[in-house]
Structure 1
Amino acid sequence: MLKDRFRKFLPVVVDLETGGFNSKKNAILEIAIQLIDEENSMLVLGESHRFHIEPFQDLLVDDDALEFLKLDLNHPLRVAVDEKFALDSIFKIINKQKNKYECSRAILVGHNAFFDHSFLLEACLRNDIKKSPFHPFSLIDTVSLGVLATKQTVLARVCKELNISYDNEEAHSAAYDAMVTAEVFCKIINDYDFNTISTN
């Protein structure tokens, strides 16, 4: 059972796109989660969910960040929602998945997971969200897993070593990055489990 693999923690891959690197001063612009399911004792990708987010009042969006993300906040097809609405919606989805697998908490999985986690913590504080499904400080970082499995830390290079497709044109979209990070996570965990089982 999935609940027994990570000490009753439900792994949920999270990726944020932000208006800078300071979690206290810069706005969240996009959030995506990639759920993880289990089939025949293997971790597989489940549903994905994404929200474009209106920058929270008085938080900064750096021009350099928008250029890097190739993001136009005023694009007519960018349907953005309030930050609290996005977080409440995401957390409800995670809690439903958590109950499905009888897990006690979710644990955030990310590439440089501390970055995404720090922004989530600040967003919960400013929106007075007291019950996040995520563990308050434990994380699973695919940088650490990636360097162990491939000797690489950059996501694109980790993917290359693992024979996972990576499209530079799609990169830095929260939904795409969450999906690719989830593929890395599942492959490394599945391969480790298989090798451990086969050698014992």
Structure 2
Amino acid sequence: MPEADAMPQLMAARFRGFLPVVVDVETGGFNPRTDALLEIAAVLVELRPDGLFVPGETWRYHVKPFEGANMEPASLEVNGIDPHHPLRPALPEHDALQRIFREVRTAVREHDCTRAILVGHNAFFDLQFLNAAVERCGIKRNPFHPFSSFDTATLGGIAYGQTVLSRIVDAAGLTWDSSSAHSAAYDAHITAEVFCAIVNQFRGIYEDTKKGHRP
């Protein structure tokens, strides 16, 4: 079992210097250039002393639609967000992103990694919205890789023969809560559980490869 002070080095080595951070966004549509970013959540992935990966700390923020943002009624019906509700504790995009980025940069340093890499279900969607918001806000220090990602839809297809998140959760022996789905915090956390379950399945193959053994 690795010593606690060796865990950062092991995390950095496992993903070639990248720190996996699970991200989910809820939006006002499918176009990252024109449609509002309404919620964002990020979940760290942690490495336990027994060598297993588990979901770590979560950050979640409601986001104010940027000026002129489009919001499709069909999308709002799916995610259940009322962007103009008077009690909705939303932050401007810039503030929400900077709060998450600050925590992610700290985690990258603590794990001796060089950069964060976004993990998502259909990750290209989340990464596109994240990058578009970063560009709108003029943020210069984005800790995430600009185009690489880990996609649990792809990984689920490989590991379980399923690409729909709820079906992957079921195949992995996890619990799916349909009433909580389409909340950024819930979707990010359950995606983190899926990602960790899949990575943990490949632990033996990874360790054999590091030793120079072919599976």
TM-score band by shorter chain is over 0.9
Aligned-partner Cα distance in 1 for 2:179–2:13: 37
Q: Relative to structure 1, is the Cα distance of residues 197 and 105 closer, same or farther in structure 2, using a 3 angstrom cutoff?
A: closer
Aligned-partner Cα distance in 1 for 2:92–2:86: 16
What's the CA shift for 1:196?
5.4
Equivalence for 2:187 = 177
Q: Which amino acid aligns with 1:17?
A: E
Structure 2 alignment gaps of length 5 or more: 1-9, 209-213
Q: Relative to structure 1, is the Cα distance of residues 139 and 196 closer, same or farther in structure 2, using a 3 angstrom cutoff?
A: closer
| Residues 117, 145 of structure 2: 8 Å contact kept | yes
Aligned-partner Cα distance in 2 for 1:95–1:183: 22
Matches within 5 A, 1:87-166: 87-166=97-176
Matches within 5 A, 1:37-52: 37-40=46-49, 41-52=51-62
Equivalence for 1:5 = 14
Does 1:36 find its partner at 2:69? Answer: no
Matches within 5 A, 1:1-80: 1-40=10-49, 41-80=51-90
Structure 1 alignment gaps of length 5 or more: none
Aligned-partner Cα distance in 2 for 1:144–1:135: 19
% identity of equivalent residues? 47
Aligned-partner Cα distance in 2 for 1:6–1:21: 30
Aligned-partner Cα distance in 2 for 1:67–1:93: 31
Moved more, 127-136 or 10-19: 127-136
Aligned-partner Cα distance in 1 for 2:57–2:87: 23
What's the CA shift for 1:78?
1.7
Moved more, 164-173 or 67-76: 67-76
Aligned-partner Cα distance in 1 for 2:36–2:138: 16
Q: Relative to structure 1, is the Cα distance of residues 52 and 67 closer, same or farther in structure 2, using a 3 angstrom cutoff?
A: same
Q: Relative to structure 1, is the Cα distance of residues 195 and 104 closer, same or farther in structure 2, using a 3 angstrom cutoff?
A: closer
Q: Deviations over 1:108-148 (max 9, x none)?
A: 00000000000111111111112210111111000110000
Root-mean-square deviation (CA, aligned residues, Å) is 1.4
Count residues with an aligned counterpart.
Answer: 200
List structure 1 runs of 4+ shifted beyond 4 angstroms: 195-200
Q: Deviations over 1:67-122 (max 9, x none)?
A: 11112223344200110000011100000000110100000000000000001111
What's the CA shift for 1:149?
0.5
Aligned-partner Cα distance in 1 for 2:168–2:197: 11
The structure that has the greater radius of gyration is 2
